[in-house]
Amino acid sequence: MTFHCGYVAIVGRPNVGKSTLLNRTMGQKLSITTRKPQTTRHSILGVKSTDQAQILYIDTPGLHVGASKAMNRYMNQTALSTLNDVDVIAWLVNPGVWTEDEQLILQRMSSIKTPVVLVINKIDEMANKNQLLPEIESLSSKREFAAIVPLSAKKDINIEEFEKTITQYLPESEALFPEDQLTDRSARFLASEIVREKIMRRVGDEVPYSMTVEIEQFAEDKGTTHIHALIWVEREGQKAIVVGQGGCVLKEVGRAARQDMEALFGCKVFLKLWVKVKRGWSDDLRALHSLGYKD
**DSSP code of residue 124:** G
The residues with which 172 forms a beta bridge, in sequence order, are 4
Q: Return the closest-CA partner of residue 169 out of 109, 119, 120, 117.
A: 117
| pLDDT single digits (tens) 48-98 | 999 999 999 999 999 999 878 899 999 999 999 999 899 999 999 999 999
Q: Return the closest-CA partner of residue 240 out of 195, 207, 216.
A: 207
List of the chain residues with pLDDT < 50: none
**DSSP code of residue 61:** P
The residues with which 147 forms a beta bridge, in sequence order, are 117
What's the half-sphere exposure (Cβ side, CA atoms, 13 Å) at 266? 0
Domains and CATH numbers, the chain: 4-168 (3.40.50.300), 187-290 (3.30.300.20)
Burial of 235 from C-beta contacts in 10 A (0-12 / 13-18 / 19+) = middle
- Spatial separation of the C-alpha atoms in residues 143 and 151, rounded to whole Å: 20
Q: Return the closest-CA partner of residue 117 out of 152, 88, 151.
A: 88
Q: What is the identity of the amino acid at 198?
A: K
Residue 5: C-alpha distances to residues 50, 165, 166, 292 (Å): 10, 13, 10, 29
Q: What is the identity of the amino acid at 134?
A: P
What confidence score (pLDDT) does residue 295 get? 62
Q: Return the closest-CA partner of residue 188 out of 149, 229, 127, 148.
A: 229
DSSP string, 224-289: EEEEEEEEEESSHHHHHHHH-GGGHHHHHHHHHHHHHHHHHHTSEEEEEEEEEE-TTGGG-HHHHH
What confidence score (pLDDT) does residue 1 get? 79
| pLDDT single digits (tens) 13-58 | 999 999 999 999 999 999 999 999 999 999 999 999 999 999 999 9
What confidence score (pLDDT) does residue 116 get? 98
- Spatial separation of the C-alpha atoms in residues 160 and 164, rounded to whole Å: 6
Task: For the chain, state the CA radius of gyration.
Answer: 20
What confidence score (pLDDT) does residue 205 get? 77
Q: Is the dihedral of CA 149, 154, 157, 159 positive or negative?
A: positive
What confidence score (pLDDT) does residue 129 get? 87
